[in-house]
Amino acid sequence: MKKMNSIKPKSTTVAALVREQASVYGKAEAVVAADKRLSYIELYEQSRVVAKSLTAYGVKPKDHVAILMSNRIEWITTFLGLQLIGATAVAINTWSSPRELAYTLEHSDVKFLLAVESFKKSHYFNLVHEILNNSQLPELKGAVWLSDLNSQIIANENAFSVDWNLFLASSHKISDQTLDVLIDQVQPEDVSVLLYTSGSTATPKGILLQQDNWIENSWNIGERQHITPKDRLWLAVSLFWSFGCVNAFPNIFSHGGCVVLQEHFDAKVALDLIEIEKCSVIYGTPNMLQAMIEHPNRATKDLSSLRTGAMIGTPEQIMWAVELGAKEICNIYGLSETYGNCAVIDSHEDLAIRLQSVGQPLDGVEVKIYDLETERELPPNEVGEIRVKGPMFLNYYKDPEKTKESYDENNYFKTGDLGLLDEKGRIYYKGRLKEMVKSGGINIAPIEVEEVLMRHPKVRTAYVIGVPDKHLDERLVAFIIPKDGKSVDVEELKRFGKQELAGYKNPSEFRIISDSQLPLTTTGKIQKLKLKTLLE
């Protein structure tokens, strides 16, 4: 069968893109979720209904409107509906605690909220009204609730809280002509989405991302994966994260492919979906891939449709995706500030390279490596801070000082990540600056030690951190997860380290642990600095 290539969109706003993709891809499937299937035309039509309803309820261009939903079709139609009228989507984390939810809604100056009534153990209807009762949300003018329970949502269009269907019924008040005028008024530099970082510090930062970069950067991501309209993405990664809503979804959407949503991750359901929907692209976190690899049903599933995708992890973790079937999986690098990714290894590169390197910068992106002490640019193969110039976030919301200090004098964004560039311009990620260990006056990148330890035939995963030491300032401690069925001897590991590493890079202590002991974020990423609690 002849390969069908994607047509690069001409649109420079998401508003125009929704209309353009409906025209180009028509009846091709755009989104699948549970028992719902929408073609590109149907997705555009349903997004128009949401856009009209938002307008009928008083939402105006540039207003901030929160989306608090799991991975449902309504998340996408709401997001696109907001783009059609030039409003800003505020993506809210469904894992938020009451305190985090209150902070995000208040800090983002949300005027309107569209949410599921409840998801898993969280009852958002009650949480939001508790926050309101504490007078914490002076800007919030109304809320729309999508409920599978039909419990306590008020069916009155004049009420503060209204039912989803009642909300959609108001779309008839706004004409097609009025909406088309709004679509045409959206500008490329307008803000598309406001994301909040996961917040390892006291409070998360609000990141403003623009319409044109949302399209251009995601298109370039898809080109590295060689995405075509025939591709189908399995997506259980939450849409409220940049990995979902400014990387995975727009990558596929800009290429005319189909997004298959999983409302929340479950390994059995994921394997079923990939087989039934013949998904060719996966976006996953290491814990998701591991659960799927180890699930007893995997051996009975036909996953031959898998081809490519994106994930971050150790070479072994990326190999899980290869073992699952995604033999052209892409190693990636980026931050929310860089629209998810600013570097992606080409899916056609040799696997040995894809396991180690996150690839060259995307088109339009420049990357340099700087020495932190001298502020000089480093030559190839020397480790320093990764700094980026290209499609970047507009600013941190309501924090101009933080925005300013995030750039150097040459207007490169200071990522806070360590890495190097090879002679071909490929980036190799070497960990976070804050994870850098200074032992005996010498800087050590823990990831370098981890990579060496994971060459040991009995070691599956290694994590290395620095802990205080009265003589050396800091000393290295290694946490080791053995390969299945293997028993690792600490003395054997020490001997191996002495053979492979310079003396000052050898961990002074080894701890053998299991996966269940790892401190993880809600996205499944290891919180390395919290490994110290295992020493207490």
CATH of residue 74's domain is 3.40.50.980
Structure tokens at 528: 């390395």
Per-residue pLDDT of 281-308, as tens digits, reads 999 988 899 899 999 999 999 999 999 9
Q: At which of 408, 433, 458 does a domain end? A: 433
Residue 29's alpha-carbon distances to 39, 42, 277, 316, in angstroms, are: 4, 9, 11, 34
Query: Residue 478 carries which DSSP code?
Result: E
Q: How far apart are CA 436 and CA 383, in angstroms?
A: 11
Whether 233 shows a pLDDT value over 50: the answer reads: yes
Q: At which of 394, 413, 433 does a domain end? A: 433
SS3 of residue 198 by DSSP: coil
Q: Which has more pLDDT, 526 or 535?
A: 535
251 inside domain: no
Q: Kindly state the percentage of the chain with pLDDT values over 70.
A: 95
Looking at residue 501, its pLDDT comes to 84
Q: How far apart are CA 79 and CA 67, in angstroms?
A: 8
Exposure class string for 220-249: b at 16+ Cβ within 10 A, else e: bbbbbbbbebbbbbbbbbbbbbbbbbbbbb
Which residues are CB-neighbours of 532 under 8 A, at least 6 positions away? 465, 467
**Domain span at residue 529?**
436-535
123 inside domain: yes
Per-residue pLDDT of 509-518, as tens digits, reads 999 999 889 8
Nearest C-alpha neighbor of 13 from the set 64, 75, 80: 80
465 inside domain: yes
CATH code at position 283: 3.40.50.12780
**Is residue 455 located within the same domain as residue 474?**
yes
Q: How far apart are CA 5 and CA 50, in angstroms?
A: 31
Residue with token string 């993506």: 91
The residue count of the chain comes to: 536
Structure tokens at 335: 């931050």
**Is residue 263 located within the same domain as residue 176?**
no
4 inside domain: no
Nearest C-alpha neighbor of 502 from the set 432, 435, 421, 444: 444
**Distance of alpha carbon 296 from its chain centroid, rounded?**
28
Query: How many structural domains are present in the chain?
Result: 3
Q: How far apart are CA 53 and CA 140, in angstroms?
A: 17
What would you measure as the largest C-alpha separation in the chain, in angstroms? 75
Looking at residue 2, its pLDDT comes to 41
159 inside domain: yes
**Is residue 484 located within the same domain as residue 408?**
no
Question: Is residue 469 within 8 Å of 475, Cβ to Cβ?
Answer: yes
Looking at residue 149, its pLDDT comes to 61
8 inside domain: no
Q: Residue 509: beta bridge partners?
A: 477
Looking at residue 154, its pLDDT comes to 58
Q: Would you say the C-alpha torsion 382, 334, 214, 260 has a positive or negative sign?
A: positive
**Is residue 300 located within the same domain as residue 160?**
no
The pTM (predicted TM-score) of the whole model is 0.86
SS3 of residue 102 by DSSP: helix
**Is residue 57 located within the same domain as residue 191?**
yes
Which residues are CB-neighbours of 401 under 8 A, at least 6 positions away? none
Q: Which band of pLDDT confidence, cut at 50, 70 and 90, is reported for residue 200?
A: very low
Q: Count the Cβ atoms, other than its own, within 10 Å of residue 53.
A: 25
**Is residue 380 located within the same domain as residue 527?**
no
Return contacts of 156-162, CB within 8 angstroms, 24+ apart. 161/125, 161/129
**Is residue 443 located within the same domain as residue 427?**
no
Q: How large is the angle between the packed helices 286-294 and 267-277, nearest 10 degrees? A: 80
Q: At which of 418, 433, 448 does a domain end? A: 433
**Is residue 223 located within the same domain as residue 335?**
yes
323 inside domain: yes
Q: How large is the angle between the packed helices 73-84 and 14-25, nearest 10 degrees? A: 120
**Is residue 356 located within the same domain as residue 465?**
no
Percent of the chain that is helix, strand, coil (3-state, to 5): 35, 25, 40
2 inside domain: no
Looking at residue 135, its pLDDT comes to 73
SS3 of residue 442 by DSSP: strand
Per-residue pLDDT of 33-52, as tens digits, reads 999 999 999 999 999 999 99
**Is residue 220 located within the same domain as residue 263?**
yes
Looking at residue 203, its pLDDT comes to 73
Q: Would you say the C-alpha torsion 402, 406, 407, 408 has a positive or negative sign?
A: positive
Looking at residue 521, its pLDDT comes to 66
H/E run at residue 415:
strand 413-421
Q: Which band of pLDDT confidence, cut at 50, 70 and 90, is reported for residue 62?
A: very high
The one-letter amino acid at 294? E
Looking at residue 199, its pLDDT comes to 46
**Is residue 403 located within the same domain as residue 446?**
no
**Is residue 344 located within the same domain as residue 486?**
no
